[in-house]
Amino acid sequence: DTAVSQTPKYLVTQMGNDKSIKCEQNLGHDTMYWYKQDSKKFLKIMFSYNNKELIINETVPNRFSPKSPDKAHLNLHINSLELGDSAVYFCASSQDRWTNNEQYFGPGTRLTVT
Partner 1 sequence: DAKTTQPNSMESNEEEPVHLPCNHSTISGTDYIHWYRQLPSQGPEYVIHGLTSNVNNRMASLAIAEDRKSSTLILHRATLRDAAVYYCILRAVNSGNTPLVFGKGTRLSVIA
Residue ranges that bind partner 1, judged by CB under 8 A: 4, 31, 33, 35, 41-45, 48, 56, 58, 90, 92, 94, 97-108
Q: Which lies closer to partner 1 via its Cβ, residue 15 or residue 54?
A: 54
Q: Which lies closer to partner 1 via its Cβ, residue 14 or residue 59?
A: 59
- Minimum separation from the CB atom of position 107 to partner 1 (A): 6
SS percent in the chain: helix, strand, coil, step 5:
5, 55, 40
- Minimum separation from the CB atom of position 27 to partner 1 (A): 13
Residue 16 φ/ψ region, left for φ over 0, alpha for ψ in the -120 to 50 degree band, beta for the rest: left
Distance, in Å, from the CA atom of 82 to the CA atom of 46, rounded to the nearest integer, reads: 17
